[in-house]
Structure 1
Amino acid sequence: SGPCTVKCGNCKKVGHIIQNFKTPATIKNQRTRTCYECGSLGHYKSKCPIVKFHKHVDMIYGRVRASKPKIMQDAIEIATKLRNKKTITLVECQTKKKKRLDNTPKNNQNQQQPNKRQNTGRAYTARHGEKKH
């Protein structure tokens, strides 16, 4: 309490200096721990209950896969059938679309038109040296 005692420059109390002084905002920021996985306050990702739950589910899935190969085989077969069905449907849709595009009037102009007069087709197909009928 003498003239040589060190006082805080902010609060003028003895026992700490301004470098160690913590404002209420600084103290609050140190206490708020935020988990960036679930967004809640009070814990970090390493202690997050949601992350632990997902790890537990993955572990259970691995055990089921190892202990029940028949069930996994059935699941793989169902997934394969669904994928094949999706592929077949996609091919059918592409074929229908292609047929629709081929039947447009613009594409039909380039095709040979049928002969309007009778017997003209015979003249075009007759070989050299043969007579027309």
Structure 2
Amino acid sequence: MAPKRTTRSTPVTPAPTATTTTVTEAQLQALIDQGVAAAMAEAEASRVRNGYNSNGSGPRPAQTARECSYSEFLKCKPLDFKGTEGVVGLTRWFEKMESVFSISNCTASCQVKFATCTLQDDALTWWNAHVKTTTPEAAHAMPWATLKKMMTDKYCPRGEIKKIETEMWNLKVKGTDVVAYSRRFQQLALMCSRMFPEEIDKIEKYIGGLPDMILGSVKASKPKTMQEAIEFTTELMDEKTHAYAERQAEKKRKYDDLSKNNQNQQQL
């Protein structure tokens, strides 16, 4: 007879009691609002990453810099250069040309090509001779700074530059005419760049040429740029000359009154 099987009873572990957290209706709505806001922000960020407009209408067009045409360059009225204008004329041509580059948004790749189209007479003959030594493509590809150096070496003789530097060293205000002094100083400074490695060197030279009546005050103002120095100098000189004119007018008025009183006393 087979033995009886005995069965072991496996103890049953009771399930843990779940804890519940009470959420109010207001808190639930706040959580929903936060989720919606986060989803909208992510969607907007995704559109931006994929190049779409904020309204989802389609990809935004890429903003590319537009090169100016030669006709647009000419509308800014660049100066012509013939090669006989001397140092002052060449310097003004450089200055005007760089202004035209800025206004017309002329790219670096077009600067020499467009600028050399304004050369005439001797200057044009010189440029054409240079082009023949290379190719038009290579000549036009040179940097603007290289063309400036070539033209300076050609049209600014060393002796003439020396004379200009000497004039700069000896330049001073004549009388009280700081306007004429400032104008001539700026013209010479363009041609004497090697004399002023830093802006402060130019400012110190400018102040050094002022009359004693304003020199100390301008120096004490410690201008940071040439424009600041010139504006302060002009304003200060205007104040000085105006005050001087008022004092002279007051002296004349007193003298006239005194003369009139003397005449009246003599008539009595």
Between the two structures, name the one with larger relative contact order (CA 8 Å, sep ≥ 6). 2
TM-score, structure 1 length as denominator? 0.30
Q: Which is richer in helix?
A: 2
TM-score, structure 2 length as denominator? 0.19
